[in-house]
Amino acid sequence: MKVIAFNGSARKDGNTALLLRTVLAELEQADIETELVQLAGKPLRGCTACMGCWRNKDGTCVIKNDSVNDYFEKMVAADGIILGSPTYFADVTTEMKALIDRTGMVNRANDDRLQRKVGAGVVAVRRGGSMHTLQTLQNFFLIGQMIIPGSSYWNIGFGREPGEVAGDDEGIKTMVDLGRNMAWLIHKLGN
Ligand SMILES: Cc1cc2nc3c(=O)[nH]c(=O)nc-3n(C[C@H](O)[C@H](O)[C@H](O)COP(=O)(O)O)c2cc1C
């Protein structure tokens, strides 16, 4: 069993990473292998709407000069996928949107290879716009026929400077509960 997590922050090892690592620690406790991919500093462009993935139907994006195809492969190989993003102008980061649009379109063009995997969104925020950000992340899972577990609150942690989110006790508890529920669901599904 494996869960792959993506941190869409432009800032490596910041608040989103801290929240994601909290979820991943619970999954590890439940004997689920985890991997965290941080998108910061890596080239990642958006979808060019060339529709090459629909023509080729080979499970890849035609843009080969970045890591999106590796990321999609990691998603296909995993039992669960976590998308984490800080809130940027009440939505996900540009890098996370590029990941969503390109892997989401490759998935749709290839008979929903991510169908029935477990998916969860995680959001860091200073003050406002986090619910919309979470919804953007969850839209990826829902249209891909994936299954989303709940937690004891929506999956949001409050903080501005790197590490500040550790002081949001309820946010951290939400991540712990999310990790436990995700692990429970993955074991139940036993894919
Ligand atoms: C370009 C940009 C836009 C932001 N927009 C918002 C926003 O709309 N609402 C908010 O509460 N915080 C906003 N923030 C603050 C971040 O969401 C916050 O600092 C978060 O903890 C960063 O997470 P990270 O450490 O994982 O990068 C913004 C930060 C940046 C750099």
Residues 93 and 10: beta-carbon distance below 8 Å: yes
Taking only the tens of pLDDT, the chain with its 191 residues reads 999 999 999 999 999 999 999 999 999 999 999 999 999 999 999 999 999 999 999 999 999 999 999 999 999 999 999 999 999 999 999 999 999 999 999 999 999 999 999 999 999 999 999 999 999 999 999 999 999 999 999 999 999 999 999 999 999 999 999 999 999 999 999 97
| Three-state secondary structure call for residue 87 | coil
pTM beyond 0.75, yes or no: yes
Q: Which protein residues touch ligand 1 with a CB less than 6 Å away?
A: 9, 11, 14-16, 86-90, 124-129, 159-160, 162
Residues 99 and 107: beta-carbon distance below 8 Å: no
Structure tokens at 137: 């992340």
Say how far apart CA 179 and CA 25 lie, in whole Å: 8
Residue 190 exposure: Cα atoms within 13 Å on the Cβ side: 1
Q: How far, rounded to the nearest angstrom, does the alpha carbon of residue 18 sit from its chain's CA centroid?
A: 14
Domain at 2-189, CATH from 3.30.450.40, 3.40.50.300, 3.50.50.60, 3.40.50.360: 3.40.50.360
